[in-house]
A and B are shown apart, each in its own frame.
Chain A
C-alpha cells in the first residue's frame, strides 16, 4: 500500500472463499462436454478473474497509488511482445 494511506482490512476470508469457489467452478467446466473453444475461453476468463483477486486484494494493488500500479502492469505489454515475437519466429 502507498505509504501513509489508511483503509479497513478487506474481507480476506471472503476473497479466499471466492478463489476456492472459482477453482471448483474451473474443475467443473474443464470436463464438460462442450466445445473446446468455449471451455478454453471460460477457463481463461476464470483464471484472469482469480489472478485479479490475488493482485488487487492480497497484493493490495487496489489501494496502491497510480505509480505502483504502473510498475505492476508495466511488464504485461512486454510479455505480449515476447509471445508475439516467438509466434512470428515459429514455423508450423
Chain B
C-alpha cells in the first residue's frame, strides 16, 4: 500500500540533508560504527592470513549449527523490525506494538544463544587466551587434532563477537524503550522518528553479523 513518509512533523532539519536530524545523526553514528568494526574484522583477516596455523577450520572449535540458528534469529528480528516500521507508516498501532515486541524477544533470544555458545566454548576449554589446560579442546590439541596455540584466535573471536553481542544487547535495551513508547501511543503515521532510527541501528547490527558469521564461522 502506498503511504506518505514522515509528512512534516515539527522538527529540526539539516539544511540540504534531505532528512531530519535524528536520522542524519544515526547515519553518521553508523559511519563511525563501520570504522569500528572494520578495525576489528580487518585485524582478524590480517592475523588469520599471517598465522593460519593459529586458527581452527570451520566447525573444528566453533559450533556452526548453533550460530547458524542464531543468524536465522537475527534475520527474523530484522524483518519484524521493518514490519513494525511499515505498520506505523500505515498508522497500524497494533501491528507496530506486535512487531516491536517480537523484535525485542527475538533480539534477546539472540543474546541468550550467544551466552550459551560462550558458556559451552569455555566449558570445552576455549577462552580468549587460548585453551584451558586439561579441558577437552586442550586434549584434542595435544593429540594434534586442533591447532596447538590459539591465543590469537581466541582473542580475536571473543573481541569481535563480544562487541557485536554488546551492540545487540544495547539495541534490545533501546528497543524496549521504543516499544514502551509505542504502547503509550507516542508514534503516529505522521511522526515515527524513533521507530525509524532504532530500526536503522538494528538492521546495521544484523548486517555486521552477516559479515561476521561468514568470516569468523564459515571461512
Which residues of A pack against B, CB within 8 Å? 1-9, 12-13, 15-16, 19-20, 23, 26-27, 30-31, 39-40, 43-44, 46-47, 50-51, 54-55, 57-59, 64-65, 67-68, 71-72, 74-76, 78-79, 82-83, 86-87, 90, 92
Contact = CB atoms under 8 A, between A and B. Distances in A.
B203 A9 contact: no
B38 to A, nearest CB: 4
A6 B4 contact: yes
B219 A31 contact: no
Contacts of A47: 210-211, 213-215
A37 B204 CA distance: 28
A59 B204 contact: yes
A68 B19 CA distance: 8
A7 B218 contact: no
Interface in B12-57: 13, 16-20, 24, 27-28, 30-32, 34-35, 38-39, 42-43, 45-46, 50
A79 B38 contact: yes
